[in-house]
Amino acid sequence: MEAVGGARGAVLRVAVGLALLLVTACGDLGGRAHTEARPQVSRAVVKVTPGNATENVAPADELRVDAIHGELTRVAVRGSDGRVVPGRFSRDRRSWLPDHPPALATAYTVDAVAVDASGREAARHSTFTTLVPKDTFKGFYTPEHGSTVGVGMPVSVRFNRPITDRAAVERGITVTAEPAVEVAAHWFGNRRLDVRPREYWLPGTRVTLRMRLKDVEGGPGVYGTQTRTVRFTVGRSMVSTVDAAAHTMTVRRNGRVVKVLPITAGSPRNTTYNGRMVITDRYELTRMNGDTVGFGGEYDIPDVPHAMRLTDSGTFIHGNYWAPQETFGTANVSHGCIGLQDVKSGDREAKGVVPAARSLTGRTPAAWFYTHSMSGDVVEVVNSHDRTVAADNGLNGWNMDWPTWVAGSALTR
SS3 68: strand
80, 84, 296 from 123: Cα distances, Å: 21, 19, 75
DSSP string spanning 270-305? SPPPBEEEE---EEEEEEEEGGGGT-TTS-EEEEEE
Q: Decide if 318 is catalytic.
A: yes
As to burial, measured by CB atoms within 10 angstroms (0-12 exposed, 13-18 middle, 19+ buried), residue 5 is: exposed
Backbone dihedral angles phi then psi of residue 310, each to the nearest 5 degrees: -115, -25
Which of 186, 247, 335, 337 is an active site residue?
A: 337
Among residues 344, 348, 349, 332, the alpha carbon closest in space to that of 386 is found at: 332
- Give how far Cα 5 sits from Cα of 2, 8, 11, Å: 5, 5, 10
Mention every residue, 6+ apart, whose C-beta is less than 8 A from residue 257.
Answer: 250, 251
Catalytic residue among 318, 335, 372, 385: 318
- The catalytic residue positions are 318, 337
